[in-house]
Structure 1
């Protein structure tokens, strides 16, 4: 079906946009975010903060543009699982359980993108078409 070609783009938007929003929110709340990271006992909280912002904003933008999504999705899936384990492991708190499951589901969606790729409406697709044309020109 012709309309299915837009589904990977929609999926990347639905997964990428919340990551970008979350990363930008962290940029606006350095002290609180670093304090929260420290409170759960993770070492080097300022470094963890920088990594979190880079993964969320950078990875989210890569998903939105469809650029190197297989690599970005794997990193973001690992980040989502690590976040679930370190920050949302108190299953006695229903809110924490919901956040844990949300992160696990996001990781699942990201692994789907890692396997299937960005789809036709992406920078990855454009670069593979360009590489294909270049190879054809060299072969002739």
Structure 2
């Protein structure tokens, strides 16, 4: 049952990342204005979109789960501090807390890996494994 929970957790995190990246693509001028208002270069947007879309799809599939989750956790914390670093503003503090929660979920994937229902498990499955050794069978 734990492998199913890992799949569902990966899917939830991936959905947030993919929707956020797609939103930045669809509303690029607004994203650009928001970054520039904070004094940050709008050239960061393509990097953020790439991390969110590629990283989200990789997490969903469970491809290089630990490495992808590590990169995304660091990016999430950095983005949170860059965008929501005013601790006196309650809205920014809530947004920063969400980024920290996202990083926490990603770090759990770093610790656990993608689970049995992932491309990682499929790639590392021994070819001569019996049913007793089956990674996916549990």
TM-score, normalising length: structure 1 = 0.86
Say whether 1:104 aligns with 2:100.
yes
Please name the residue that 2:115 is paired with. Answer: 119
Runs of 4+ in 1 over 2 A off after TM superposition: none
Shift of 1:60: 0.7
TM-score, normalising length: structure 2 = 0.87
Show structure 1 runs of 5+ residues with no match: 135-140
Instruction: Give a deviation string over 1:100-119, Cα, whole Å, max 9, x none.
Output: 11111111111111121000
CA distance in 1 between partners of 2:32 and 2:74 (Å):
20
How many residue pairs get matched? 128
Please name the residue that 1:78 is paired with. Answer: 74
Counterpart of 2:127 in 1: which secondary structure?
A: helix
Higher helix share: 1
CA distance in 2 between partners of 1:99 and 1:30 (Å):
20
Please name the residue that 2:25 is paired with. Answer: 27
Please name the residue that 1:133 is paired with. Answer: 127
Counterpart of 2:87 in 1: which secondary structure?
A: coil
Counterpart of 1:112 in 2: which secondary structure?
A: helix
Shift of 1:65: 0.8
Please name the residue that 1:137 is paired with. Answer: none
